[in-house]
Structure 1
Amino acid sequence: MNYKYSKEQLNQGDVVSVQLDKQANVLLLDPLNYSKFRNGKQYKYYGGLAKVSPARITVPYTGTWYIVINLGGANGTVRYSVEIL
C-alpha cells in the first residue's frame, strides 16, 4: 500500500487541517490502529475520503497520532500540507 504519513503529538480538541491538490483519503489513527493499518488488519480511524480541501479532523483525545494520506489504491501522487489548528 502506498501512503504518506506524519506522526504528531496532539491534544484533545486540536484540529488537523490537511490541504490537498486532489481527492484523497485522510485518516487520523492512534498507534494501535496505525499498526493494524500497516499490517492489513481491520482498523478504526477518524476522517475518511476528503472530496474537498482542506480536510479537517478534530482530535478526540490527547496522545500520539498518525495522519495518513493515500489514494485508496489508485495510481498517482497527491501533494499535501498538514497544519495543526
Structure 2
Amino acid sequence: MSKPTFRFTHYDLKEQRAGTIIEVTLSAVNNVRLMTPTNFQRFKETLDYKFLGGVAKKSPLKIAIPESGHWHLIVDMEGHHGLAESKVKMIAAPAVQPKQRAS
C-alpha cells in the first residue's frame, strides 16, 4: 500500500451531525479536506477520492458537515511550502426549530 508523498495532519472527527461547523485555524496556506472514512482510506492509499474543501488561503476556515455520519479532516501541504500548524474547533449545529402551527 503506497502512502501520500506529502505530509499531512489527520483529525478523526468521529460522528458529527449535519450542519455542524468545523473551524480550522492555520499558520500558513495549506489544503483542508473533509472526507468520509471510505474516502480517507482511498486518500491514504493514493487512490482517487472525494472531499469537501480545498486550498485554504485565509484562516480560520469554516466548513459545514453536509450530512450526519463519521468524518475525517486532513490538513496537507501538497503543492505548498510546508505543513501548516493547525487547530480544529467544532461549532455545534444549530438546533432544529419546531414548526409553528397556524391557529
Q: What's the TM-score, normalizing by structure 1?
A: 0.93
Q: From the superposition, tell whether residues 51 and 74 of structure 1 become closer, same or farther in structure 2 (CA, over 3 Å).
A: closer
1:5 and 2:41 correspond? no
* 1:66 match: secondary structure: strand
Distance 1:47 1:73 in 2: 15
Higher mean alpha-carbon deviation, 73-82 vs 58-67, is at 73-82
CA RMSD of aligned residues (A): 1.1
Q: Unaligned regions of 5+ residues in structure 1, if any?
A: none
Matched, 1:58 2:36: no
Number of corresponding residues: 85
2:26 matched to 1:28? no
Residue deviations 1:8-31 (CA, integer Å, cap 9, x gap):
121100011100010000000101
TM-score normalized by the length of structure 2: 0.77
Find 1:17's aligned residue among 2, 9, 23. Answer: 23
C-alpha separation in 2, matches of 1:48 and 1:75: 16
Query: Is 1:78 matched with 2:84?
Result: yes
Q: Report sequence identity in percent.
A: 28
Structure 2 gaps, min length 5: 92-103
Higher relative contact order, chain-length normalized (CA < 8 Å, sep 6+): 1
* Contact 2:35 2:50 survives alignment (8 Å): yes
